[in-house]
Structure 1
Amino acid sequence: MSFDALLWLSFGGPEGPDDVMPFLENVTRGRGVPRERLESVAEHYQHFGGVSPINELNRRGIKAVEAELDAQRIQLPVYFGNRNWQPYAEDAVAAMAADGVRRAMVFPTSAYGGYSSCRQYDEDITRAREAVPGAPELVKLRHFFDHPLFVESFADAVVAARARLGVAGEQARLVFTAHSIPVSADAAAGPPEEGGGRYSRQVREAARLVAERVGASEHDVVWQSRSGPPSVPWLEPDIVDHIEALHADGVTAVVVCPIGFVSDHIEVIWDLDNEAAERAAELGMGFARAATPNDDPRYARLVVELAREHLSDAPVRRLSDASSGGCTVNGAPCAPGCCEPPRRRA
């Protein structure tokens, strides 16, 4: 099957103080989020000069993928587009059309299923194609939560985090964390015949694979970064609440692995490196956070390997038989009813 390009499709993030509120308004448009809540979140970004690391990390990842494509003698230009900030997906698709691209693969920077992590990228693709006359055909690549290179990268990061704790690292509790979502949204994640829960099941499977690789006899899966009203149930427990519960049980040190994230953006460096780490310190607990893939060379190899599944029928490498999915053409969902958007409260 012939392809002319690869589109790296991500979430986006502000790159200066004046970008923060417009970016957050893009993220929450149509959700009825109060202004005071946006201002509270904006303070997290302003703590870092109004700059999210995500765009720079994406650019570095793209350069690594370009180098890997060259090393494998694959001629495939890489374009960069975002859902919520410049460069927007529409701009990337317009650039592809202007360059004569007719058919391209899309790599979304999320390893998992679910609405925000999968189906919403389908919507991004559809919206971008509708906005660009002569837009190329776009084929979204699959989920990669159980890809060997993804698991290896996190496993090595866990080992390194343990080492930073010294002797305490040998007994530290291994805690995996991912972005929380409403319980109702998780129930809708995956085709109806699966009974929902694809997102949380995939996160738990990725955590199990990493824990097994590092020889952890036990581990926990918790959640972070919830943003909805208290009246709406979200996946729990929260990472900070869990640290407090572990302390009450006599645990003296934790290694936190952000298995749900592929880069160190604001929700990693604020929610974990600040809030979670500070609470652990207040309780006198050792704390080390494992790195995300960021620009790990294996991440670039993973992206190219996913592309080669379409370019040259390369074998699909997975470490589990957990329900997967992800591949779509021109934004069509994986299956009817799969990962329906959550209902918004008026």
Structure 2
Amino acid sequence: MSDQLDPAPYDALLLLSFGGPEGPDDVVPFLENVTRGRGIPKERLKEVGQHYFRFGGVSPINAQCRALLAALREDFAAAGLDLPVYWGNRNWTPYLTDTLREMVRDGRSRIAVLATSAYASYSGCRQYRENLADALATLEAEGLPLPKVDKLRHYFNHPGFVEPMIEGVLRSLAELDEDVRSGAHLAFTTHSIPDSAADTSGPVEDHGDGGAYVRQHLDVARLIAGAVRERTGVDHPWRLVYQSRSGAPHIPWLEPDICDHLEELHKEGAPAAVMVPIGFVSDHMEVLYDLDTEATAKAAELGLPVRRSATVGADPRFAAAIRELLLERAATERGATAERCALGALGPSHDLCPVGCCPARAERPAAAGADSPYA
């Protein structure tokens, strides 16, 4: 096998995602998994679950993971890369622990992990690493051999992640009426998180003033806005905004909210807007409800023409980017020099999360990092 296509030392790739309900009876149990340990009453969970019940109790995220799995397997086969791809979730079937158990029984001993979250944050990185540690502890208690797991680096600025989003913005702009298109504002959206979580995201040296979470999103927004300007000749005003806030109202979270931002654009006389969900890999519930339903209704109420551009989803360029990330890390693990693709000002992210990176809310072991108990 060519060194460029050598996945060694890895003998499998694990796609690690959030999970979601696939029917009405799944919604409350799913939300109980998501909120376990927070003491939220079941009646409150039923209220929260209305977003899911509105869509038949089905989150699109699992179907989107299946589509990405298929795209990865197709890409690997076309490239001549013989490596099995598995899928496990944090909060719903197929559960991570069950998938890792299956992988061990299939003889997999060195696993590369791709999380469906592109940016640095507790919930988008370290919590997945905690989930991996919990799953490994379960396998250890069952007397199974433990695989070594390595989480692939953040890919927010990889060309295969950014380019599909650029094209999505261009398509959305083209859908607007010509008389409002050139003045359209770009609203780059991502999941709001508590200010405290943002400020401590990424390595310790990045902490403060929104941390790596905000800086990484701003870098991607600049990349996309710059590419749109180069390809259209129009410099569209833009801003990074937030959505999907949850939690106690007295705790500060990242702002402004997308709906508040749309109201502000309307007051300022903006002729139109394109919502660009750069913080999300696929069109799951936060996109389907918070943007396509709630924010779009707000725009209609204001009389503001609005479009929502596509997420990356199972785009073949994203599948190819994941292959490149895998082979890059494999080469590094073998001690070889690897090309590390990255756009923008921040450069490629670290391979191994350092101590103090996206610190936990409470002390818990986390795998695949410098502080991992599973070397």
Q: What TM-score, normalized to structure 1?
A: 0.94
CA–CA separation in structure 1 for the residues paired with 2:41 and 2:227: 43
Percentage identity across aligned positions?
50
1:14 maps to: 21
1:258 to 252, 272, 277: 277
Unaligned runs of 5+ in 1: 329-333
Say yes or no: does 1:150 pair with 2:161: yes
What does 1:118-267 align with in structure 2 at a 5 Å threshold? 118-132=125-139, 133-167=144-178, 168-196=180-208, 197-215=211-229, 216-267=235-286
1:308 maps to: 327
Partner of 1:270: helix, strand, or coil?
helix
Residues 191 and 337 of structure 1 are in contact (CA less than 8 Å); yes or no, is this contact kept in structure 2?
Answer: yes
Task: Indicate how the Cα distance of structure 1 residues 162 and 217 shifts in structure 2: closer, same or farther if over 3 A, else same.
Answer: closer
1:319 maps to: 343
**Cα deviation, residue 87, structure 1:** 0.3
Task: Indicate how the Cα distance of structure 1 residues 341 and 33 shifts in structure 2: closer, same or farther if over 3 A, else same.
Answer: farther
2:371 maps to: none
Measured against aligned partners, the alpha-carbon deviations of 1:213-236 in whole angstroms (never above 9, x if no partner) come to 111443110000000111000000
1:92 maps to: 99
CA–CA separation in structure 2 for the residues paired with 1:153 and 1:60: 16
Unaligned runs of 5+ in 2: 1-7, 230-234, 332-336, 364-375
Q: What TM-score, normalized to structure 2?
A: 0.87
1:80 maps to: 87
2:360 maps to: 341
Amino acid at match of 2:147: P
2:78 maps to: 71
CA–CA separation in structure 1 for the residues paired with 2:225 and 2:345: 17
Measured against aligned partners, the alpha-carbon deviations of 1:325-344 in whole angstroms (never above 9, x if no partner) come to 4634xxxxx11211112369
Amino acid at match of 2:351: C
Say yes or no: does 1:295 pair with 2:290: no
Output the aligned Cα RMSD: 1.6
2:62 maps to: 55
Residues 201 and 357 of structure 2 are in contact (CA less than 8 Å); yes or no, is this contact kept in structure 1?
Answer: yes
Measured against aligned partners, the alpha-carbon deviations of 1:22-59 in whole angstroms (never above 9, x if no partner) come to 11111111234454542232000001100000001001
Measured against aligned partners, the alpha-carbon deviations of 1:230-256 in whole angstroms (never above 9, x if no partner) come to 100000000000100110111121100
Residues 104 and 147 of structure 2 are in contact (CA less than 8 Å); yes or no, is this contact kept in structure 1?
Answer: yes
**Cα deviation, residue 151, structure 1:** 1.1
**Cα deviation, residue 174, structure 1:** 0.6
Residues 202 and 323 of structure 1 are in contact (CA less than 8 Å); yes or no, is this contact kept in structure 2?
Answer: no
Residues 200 and 357 of structure 2 are in contact (CA less than 8 Å); yes or no, is this contact kept in structure 1?
Answer: yes
> Aligned pairs, how many?
339
Question: Which protein is bigger by CA-based radius of gyration?
Answer: 2
Residues 282 and 312 of structure 2 are in contact (CA less than 8 Å); yes or no, is this contact kept in structure 1?
Answer: yes
Amino acid at match of 1:8: L
